[in-house]
Structures are given as structure tokens and as C-alpha cells.
Amino acid sequence: MSLTVVGSVAFDALETPFGKRDKVLGGAATHFGLSASFFTDVNAVGIVGGDFGSDEWEVFKRHNINTDEVEIVPDGKTFFWSGRYDYDMNTAHTLDTQLNVFETFNPTLSDNSKNSKLLFLANILPSLQKGVREQCPDAKFVAMDTMNFWISSMKESVIDTIKVVDCVIINDAEARMLADEPNIHKAARKIMDYGLRALVIKRGEYGATLFTKDAYFFCPAYPLESVFDPTGAGDTFAGGFMGYLAAQNEITEENLRRAMIYGSVMASFNVEKFGTERVDALGYPEINERFAAFKRMTHFDDIPFERATTA
């Protein structure tokens, strides 16, 4: 099934305890698209400035991502974000944000993207997300991301958008804020009550949890000795998750669970280098090998315990 992502294409400046990069390719649509491209064909919808060069376009071309709907503003500058991470890699410290051409981003989809069976609404203004959703009335499965800024400043708009999608993919802090509920399980049920088919709550190095109407599934994070840069890990997870689903004939509970594992697999590669460097160079054997490792990590025999008796 075809897959479209709508979101940011950006430049990032990154600093972690393990190194620094002054300018790398980033953005939600970029990380998502690269990850999803290993499973299905991807249409990317975004906006860039005239400073977006051939090296950046080549990354999309290598992964056969359709960029026909990435608008170019020749005299504008591409969205830029600068951030720093300390040893707590779960927290990003924003140093600079320059929206540039992204400030006027108002996506109007082509018939090709409108006809996609799966749609991912990356982190943009909630009203824009809803507008894109309305352009794709026949989409079979629509997922969205959001962030604490939108939840705190325009919560009702976020909720209105949630009500017209099938799945929300957010982190645990955002889930608690959205539901006004400190207990993550109670928060999840409140959010599910908006009519979702699925809710994915990301918990960084502690994995991710899938909630559906009648089930609960937990996926651990892959144990890594070296984490260089977590930027884009959440979007990479979403790309693996949605990309796998797009490669299936239907959205079932079993497929949602496998999609969680593939999302975690892809995110685990993303953090091993800066920006898109690791996923850009990734190969299928590595993906399959790590998927098998996840299976070994989480497998156990379903033998019920019986207490030994003594004579």
C-alpha cells in the first residue's frame, strides 16, 4: 500500500557528549521517509529553501523517495534547528530554531498523495494536520505525531485532529499532558476514547507501548552500547512502524505488533550516528539481523509454573 508523509525537511546543528555537527540533513519527513523507504514507496510532502543542495536531494533519490511535492522556495532558507544533548539523551536542549520557509508551509496534496492508503501527519500545526487529513478521505490508516508545545497552547485543536485519525504516536510526557493524567495506562485509555484504533507511546531507551481497543503490547528498546545522537529517533520509529504496515495487505493486531518491532529496529540504527548518516547507509541484512535479535530477546516458553511438592 502507498504511503505519504507530510512534515518538515530541515537542517540540524547537533551537539552531544560524543561529537558535534554544524549542519546535517534532518526534519521529521526526512527521518520518517528514509526509515519507511526500506518497506514501501514513500511520497514526501514538505518545503525547503534555495539552500537545499544536490547532496541533500541525493539522499532522497538513493532511497527512491518521491519528492515531487517538496516545494522549493528559491530565495528562501530551509527550516533550521540547533540542539544539544547531555548524557541524559532523553532530553534535547534547543539552542536555536529558525522556521524560515516552514513558517508559510500550507500543504496541498496532489492526486497521487491523496490516493495513498496510509498517511502520516508529522509534527506540524494541528490545524494543518487536520486539513491534510481532510484531503485524503479514502486513506485506510492515518497516524499523527504532535508535541508538548501544541498540547499546551492549543489542546482543543490537537484533540480535534486526533478525532479524525486512526493512530497517535507520541512520547509518555506528551500522553500524560494530553490526558491530564499522571498514570500512563489511564492516560492511554483516555486518549483511545477519542476514537483511535491504536495508540503508540514512545518511552525512549525504555521502549514503546502499543494500546489498542482490547490489547496491550510492549516493545523494548534495542540495547546499545553507543548512542551518538537521538535526533529523529521518534520519526524513524514512526517510519518503520508505518512503512511495515504499508507493506501488508491489511491492518491487524498481529501486524501492528510486528510494526512496533520494526519501528524499534529502525530507531535503534538511527541513534548510532548523527542525523541521517546511519539509516542512509543501512542495508536489509542488518535490519533482518536486528529484527531476529529482538525476537530472541523477547521470546520465552509458555510453560506454566508448578510448585514442587515434597513427599
By the 8 A CB rule, do 211 and 202 touch? Answer: no
Average pLDDT over residues 217-231: 89
Lowest mean pLDDT among 44-53, 88-97, 138-147: 88-97
Residue 238 has pLDDT above 90, yes or no: yes
152-188 confidence digits (pLDDT tens): 999 999 999 999 999 999 999 999 999 999 999 999 9
- State residue 79's pLDDT score: 97
Specify whether the CB–CB gap between 241 and 37 falls below 8 A.
Answer: no
pLDDT for 311 equals 57
- For the 3-162+220-297 domain, the top CATH level (class) is alpha beta
Asked if the model's pLDDT at residue 69 lies above 60, the reply is yes
Do the Cβ atoms of 250 and 275 come closer than 8 Å?
A: no
Mean pLDDT lowest among 101-105, 175-179, 254-258, 302-306:
302-306
Q: Please say if the pLDDT value at position 308 is more than 80.
A: no
pLDDT-above-90 percentage for the chain: 86
Average model confidence (pLDDT) across the chain: 94
Ranges 46-50, 86-90, 212-216, 244-248: which has the least confidence: 86-90
Q: Is 309's pLDDT higher than 80?
A: no
Q: What is the pLDDT of residue 128?
A: 96
309 by Cβ neighbours in 10 Å (0-12 / 13-18 / 19+) ranks as exposed
Using the structure block, give the residue that is written with the C-alpha cell 501486524: 255
pLDDT tens, position by position, 2-11: 899 999 999 9
- 10 Å CB burial of residue 194 (0-12, 13-18, 19+) is middle
pLDDT digits (tens, 9 = 90+) for 78-124: 999 999 998 877 788 999 999 999 999 999 999 999 999 999 999 99
Q: In 3-state terms, what secondary structure has residue 74?
A: coil
The whole-number average pLDDT for the span 71-83 is: 97
- The CB-side HSE value for 72 (13 A sphere, CA atoms) comes to 10
Q: Are 43 and 157 in contact (CB under 8 A)?
A: no
Q: Which of 255, 4, 14, 30 is nearest to 138 (CA)?
A: 4
pLDDT band with cut points at 50, 70 and 90 for residue 310 = low
